[in-house]
Amino acid sequence: MANYDTKKLTTTALMAAVVFVATMVVKIPVGQGYLNFGDAAVFLSGLLLPPVYAFSAGAIGSSLADMIGYPIYIPATFILKGLMALIVSKAKSKSIKGKIIYMVLGGLVMVGGYYLYEAFILYGNILSPLYYIPFNILQFSVGIIIALILINPLKNKLEL
């Protein structure tokens, strides 16, 4: 039992680091923000880890990335990226189509959550954050494609 718990914790820490690196290393400027591969790593965390561990990897890795450059987003990021991974963790045994549906759902939760955070916490109006919605959709869409490409090679190595 202890070895299984150690493996879960170690894999969770590894995936949190992967989320951080995927967010920080690949930065493609888009609008006033940037496109990164962090969402792909968040989705992979959900597909590889049990729900609570998936939430932790997505939340911690993404929040650590926000500490460098976007600290105002840390509270929203912790909750939203954690929820993305948690939602996707429910699709582990689903078909590819099922996995895509759960990743889209997780991505839409993230988009809606950031919109609400920006509208009511950052900007104080409902119009300004509309600008970011297409970029967030693009980012999670790219994340879905990358996660689908990488899930099979990683599944046998890291899945718990």
Whichever domain contains 147, its CATH number is: 1.10.1760.20
- pLDDT given for residue 2 in this prediction: 57
Residue with tokens 């869409």: 141
Q: Dig out the tokens for 12 from the structure.
A: 């969770």
- Segment 82-95 shows an average pLDDT of 95
* pLDDT above 90 as % of the chain: 81
- pLDDT given for residue 1 in this prediction: 47
Tabulate helix, strand, coil % of the chain (nearest 5). 80, 5, 15
Q: Dig out the tokens for 55 from the structure.
A: 């939430």
**Total of domains in the chain:** 1
- pLDDT given for residue 160 in this prediction: 63
Give the start-end residues of each E strand in 7-148.
28-30, 33-35
Contact yes or no for 82/42 (Cβ under 8 A): no
Q: Dig out the tokens for 42 from the structure.
A: 């968040």
- pLDDT given for residue 101 in this prediction: 98
- Segment 38-42 shows an average pLDDT of 98
Residue with tokens 């839409």: 108
Chain centroid, CA 150 distance in Å = 15
- pLDDT given for residue 156 in this prediction: 77
Instruction: Assess whether pLDDT exceeds 60 at residue 152.
Output: yes
- pLDDT given for residue 3 in this prediction: 66
End-to-end CA distance of the chain: 13
Residues linked to residue 28 through DSSP beta bridges, in sequence order: 35
The parent domain of residue 11 ranges over 2-158
How far is residue 92's CA from residue 95's CA, in Å, rounded to a whole number?
8
**Amino acid found at 29:** P
- Segment 63-74 shows an average pLDDT of 94
When the pLDDT of each residue in the chain is averaged and rounded to a whole number, the result is 93
Residues 103-149: tens digit of each pLDDT: 999 999 999 999 999 999 999 999 999 999 999 999 999 999 999 99
Q: Dig out the tokens for 104 from the structure.
A: 């889209």
